[in-house]
Structure 1
Amino acid sequence: MPDRVPIMLLPANVVRKLGRRTFPPVMLLLPLFPSLKGTLQEIRSEVGVDSFVTASLFSSFIYGLIFFLLSFALLSSRPITTDPLIFSIVLGAVFWLMFFILHIYYPGIIVKKIAAKENKDLLYALREMIIDIDGGVPLFDSMKNISAAGYGYISADFDWVVRQVESGVPEREVLKQLALKTESEFLKRAAWQMVNALESGAKMSDALEGIAVAVEEYLLREIKNYSNNLNFLLLIYMLVGIVAPSLGITFMVLLSAFSGLGVTIEAVMMLIICTSIFQVVMIGYMASTRPDLFGG
């Protein structure tokens, strides 16, 4: 698993080195994120929570610095009443805070993405296991085939199971450990079904068939729910991203005719910045909630 989140600007080796030094601000921030340590463990990151928070502060500061420089360069080239330095500092600080919060919560997003990818890959892995078992292949050999079949996180999980069994751990105990450590609800159910089938002597393929049907129905529901939500999200996107800027400028022009304040460059820039941020957030939300059924 990667030791850094995709939006982090610092490489993994730098993140580890930062954790070797103790920064007082980081020690004050750690109690604010009690679940972060467990989340990093769930994504199997080797980076400690103190290293991750430190790296998040530095990475988000770089983002804030970029927005500060862009804002200051843009405002300094235009005659405005507001001090461009103060406005740029405030804007940079706001983006620093926003990106820091995003860095902290992004491992939780990764956990959900891993569980979603596991559910997608699990359907095909279960189908292959059912065919193998019905064809007379032992369960261990079937799991070994899954570990080498390229089913993403599912193959990695079963590769761990195979290595544990080959090292001498009983098959049932390893499957129980898999059920406890995975974030995929359906993989948990599949692992417990295999344990129950091994202990009771029930037909393994029948136990796995029920899980495969449940996964397939779940994925179809996800697609339907996303399709329904996407229509509403597109409506909000068009209202805020297209209609709101046009009407906002129109209202400011009308109000300036009565109040005499005029339409300042600061007001127009704030409108552009706010709508741009909203559009980026909406696009990111629509992309992150898209069912990862076929990958990509």
Structure 2
Amino acid sequence: MNIPLMLIPKRSVIIVEKLRGFTKILASFLPGLRISLIEIDKDIDVDEYIALSIISALVYGLLLFLLIFGLLFLLGGVIDGAISMALMVGFVIYTLFFLLFLLYPSILAGKKAEQIEKDLIFALKDILLNVNSGATIYGALVEIARSEYGMVSTEIGNVVRRVNTGVSLEDALEGLALKTTSEHFKNSIWQLVNTLRAGSDMEDALRELVRNMNLEQRTRIRNYAQELNVMVLIYMLFAVVIPTIAVTLLIIIGPFLNIGMGLDLIFYLIILMSFMIQIILIEFIKSRRPVVNL
């Protein structure tokens, strides 16, 4: 999976090797980053990824520095003040992008888990149907790999390929369980592994997995409905109440305050901040929506 906004592709910059000593030290404080890169199948060392993140973030910071400095200079600003403001903005942008690149692997791993869980219950039902029809668990997994269950088919396909190379089915499934970020997928795979090793009835185990997944998804929908009521109130607060109060206070007491910038500029800043907060809240509400298929 590719990292969005990453400007520098792998092995394209010599300076990556120059930063490797520093990035190795930084990587020791970020153990979760290495795990996230493995989970998203990113074929890159964690210290090399940190180096590429530093370079890409530096490019964004430099671009914003030049843009802000050029705008302030064209608007008649003092050069020293324009440089100071542009440096501050550039540093903030650099820091934000660097942190964003460090967080993106875990975000993508979470998205991958959501894609897996979206089709997991149907894949389990398909496996149960194949086992009921007399197929072996390996044969059922082969059918899942050939089917269109999104990331579930992709991950099971990797298991099938490992089995074809001589790895035992239990070991291949165990490797998948240790790698995946989806808790439901992990629990399902471990249940299959334990059932295979214990020689228990696979049909009963699969039926129990499907029943638990159905109950879990209904619970997540109920919890999201309760959270949505609170999030709608928060959205209305920032979208309507706070901007209205701020503009009203600005109109009433603005003329009596000695403010360095014009009241019109403050008004537009309030509108801009309200708009940005609304976008953030909308994206947060979307991110909280459970990915279910019943």
Q: For this structure pair, what is the TM-score category when the shorter chain's length is used for normalisation?
A: 0.7 to 0.9
1:64 aligned to 51, 61, 64, which one? 61
Distance 1:172 1:50, change over 3 A: closer
* Counterparts of residues 241-260 of structure 1 (less than 5 Å): 241-260=239-258
| Greater mean deviation of Cα atoms: 155-164 or 225-234 | 225-234
Distance 1:154 1:290, change over 3 A: same
Structure-2 separation of matches of 1:184 and 1:27? 28
Amino acid at match of 1:57: I
1:22 aligned to 19, 22, 26, which one? 19
The answer for the alignment partner of 1:291 in structure 2 is 290
Q: CA RMSD in A?
A: 3.1
Which structure 2 segments of 5+ residues have no match? Answer: none
2:34 aligned to 25, 33, 37, which one? 37
Structure-2 separation of matches of 1:87 and 1:247? 30
Amino acid at match of 2:35: G
The answer for the alignment partner of 1:129 in structure 2 is 127
* Counterparts of residues 79-228 of structure 1 (less than 5 Å): 83-228=81-226
Identity over aligned pairs, percent:
31
Distance 1:275 1:8, change over 3 A: farther
Distance 1:201 1:53, change over 3 A: closer
> Matched residue of 1:99: which SS?
helix
Shift of 1:267: 4.4
The answer for the alignment partner of 1:232 in structure 2 is 230
Q: TM-score, normalised by structure 2?
A: 0.83
Distance 1:145 1:21, change over 3 A: farther
Shift of 1:234: 3.3
The superposition leaves residues 253-280 of structure 1 with CA deviations (integer Å, 9 ceiling, x where unpaired) of 4333333336536645654554454334
Structure-2 separation of matches of 1:42 and 1:249? 48
Amino acid at match of 1:234: V
Structure-2 separation of matches of 1:49 and 1:90? 29
Shift of 1:293: 3.1
Distance 1:89 1:236, change over 3 A: farther
Amino acid at match of 1:284: E
Which structure 1 segments of 5+ residues have no match? Answer: none
